[in-house]
Structure 1
């Protein structure tokens, strides 16, 4: 009988759902190579591989068996999917659009002989979730609404560059989610200053939405967008919960304005301190100072003004900037002001790019603002585990802190 590869529960699933991969009808103790490949939205091909030895029954189960060699080590059921990389250095797997699934082709080989193959369709847009582009006074974004009348809790997903993936996956869980980017709108110049007003308009838009039942909005953001999320909570009404992921405790890069008045000057990186590594990618972490000196204190966001519940998430191996130190400074500031509206999580082996679970792990890629290849940090297995844990934590946090009459959001 011919060899088979099975994908359980189905070859078609949601992007953030784990997959059990098994190979059957092999010879006892046969060594086979399982290969994975996927093409991103720029047409770049990413690949991974691993060699396994079948058991006495001629079976391999990735949830049980570690590879003998390959792109990942140890027992990791999703290790092959998370370890796909480009043959070209410093490439980011670009998957930002929600309408098309992330397709991973799996093939089983005995040396050069193809034994069997299957395709995993990892959908971002769940059944019944509606996607629409929203253009309002001051902002353009993408809105995702769950099926049914609601009411649902509302989330604002702030991205440095527009990506629909996280927003849509959260909508699958029963949230109304609006995705906005800081830098993707070509009509807006944010290289010199940033204005909170457009994000306030986004908050108000969500609170007016017919399906929204929460009295306040949750905000989730990473990197530069995370300090904007904190500023929203500190200066704008209507924000009830914030998930800050590997951001800064200060207003980074450009001055922040609100209602035609400057709120905060910019904490500017010193690019003379970046380090070029042997791989050709730069280490940016030394460039952004910890804002402890008198010269930098005015850039620090006064988060003690925020009434929102705050979830701080930092990676211990973040090589973009020292997010763990920034988190520690925020915690100390809140303690100093007698505040206890926060929770802090440190993921020791994770890197900067914490994504929804089962995303390809990216060590380095082109930085859209720095305009060069940079190191993001992270040890693969620790980073992947952190993403899986954080994803459930985000859902639990928003469900607990955004009260809704009939909140249908569920953690899966």
Structure 2
């Protein structure tokens, strides 16, 4: 019987959604190496790998089987994703366009050798950053430059402002994913974006107050009382 990779949930899913990865059709206690890889929006390659042994029935379930070494060790069901490292030194995995997914390739290779063994099975995962039903609204109000992500439904929803700008620009992926969990989330740019200040040191704090006022006045944002 040929080896196969099983991923649950099957089909496209969100980047922050846990996966259950299993391999079936292996020989009893067969040593294998699992390898994950993806290319970011600029084509940079990220990879991770781990060594495993199948159980007596020829099955490997990453929720039950500890990794024996590689990019990580121990029981880490999602290790092949969180351990992804760039081939290019000091490169960060970021997602600028949340409307498009990233494709993660999973490969099952025979053995634990330093050189890749025979390819036994592979699967391609589509990991999305815009959850189903989440609405993305560009915000250009006064000086505020942002994107507002609203969960499915009419709301109102608890509001969150995500201020994250390593390197400047508008970073949306954390806000878009958080909206999938029921929060109206604003991804707020604060420098080096459109007509905002180019340098970090030129930021005025009342800019953030203006963003807060926008959220308070938005009809689909729920005001939470302080206790």
TM normalised by structure 2 equals: 0.89
- Answer yes or no: is the 8 Å Cα contact 1:38–1:103 preserved in 2: yes
Q: Write the distance in 2 (CA, Å) between the matches of 1:94 and 1:15.
A: 12
Extract unaligned runs of 5+ from structure 2: 111-115
1:9-28 aligned at under 5 Å gives the runs 9-28=9-28
Is the contact between residue 34 and residue 108 of structure 2 (CA under 8 Å) also seen in structure 1?
yes
2:44 aligned residue: 44
Match of 2:113 in 1: none
Return the offset for 1:215.
Answer: 5.1
Pairing partner for 2:182 from 174, 183, 194 = 174
Report 1 or 2 for greater relative contact order, CA contacts < 8 Å, sequence distance ≥ 6: 2
Q: For the structure 1 residues 75 and 191, does the alpha-carbon distance in structure 2 shift closer, same or farther, using more than 3 Å as the test?
A: closer
Query: Is this contact kept in 2: 1:138–1:197, CA < 8 A?
Result: no
Distance 1:122 1:114 in 2: 23
The 3-state SS of whatever aligns with 2:41 is coil
Alpha carbons 2:192, 2:198 under 8 Å: kept: no
Q: How many equivalent pairs are there?
A: 218
Report the Cα offset of residue 79 of structure 1.
0.8
For the pair 1:195 / 2:200, whether they are aligned, the reply is: no
Contact 1:36–1:107, Cα closer than 8 Å, also in 2: yes
- Structure 1 residue 146: Cα displacement: 1.0
Please report how far the alpha carbon of residue 123 of structure 1 lies from its aligned counterpart in structure 2 after TM superposition.
1.6
1:218-250 deviation line (CA, Å, top 9, x unaligned): xxxxxxxxxxxxxxxxxxxxxx6xxxxxxxxxx
What is the Cα deviation at residue 93 of structure 1?
A: 1.0
Poorly superposed stretches of 4+, deviation over 4 Å: none
Q: How is 1:146-295 mapped onto 2 (pairs within 5 angstroms)?
A: 146-160=151-165, 161=168, 162-187=170-195, 188-214=197-223
How many Å separate the matches in 1 of 2:158 and 2:15?
22
Q: How does 1:290-301 map to 2 (within 5 A)?
A: none
TM-score by length of 1: 0.50
Task: Tell me by how many angstroms 1:96 deviates.
Answer: 3.1
Q: Is the contact made by 2:46 and 2:87 (CA closer than 8 Å) also made in structure 1?
A: yes
What is the distance in 2 between the residues matched to 1:98 and 1:67?
31
- Structure with the larger helix share: 1
Q: CA RMSD in A?
A: 1.8
Report the Cα distance in structure 2 between the residues aligned to 1:66 and 1:109, rounded to whole angstroms. 17
Change (3 A) 1:79 1:215: closer
Alignment of 1:143 with 2:151, yes or no, is no
User: Could you report, residue by residue, the CA deviation over 1:20-79 in whole angstroms, capped at 9, with x for unpaired residues?
Assistant: 110000011111111100111221010111121111100111111122221111110011
CA distance in 1, matches of 2:60, 2:201: 55
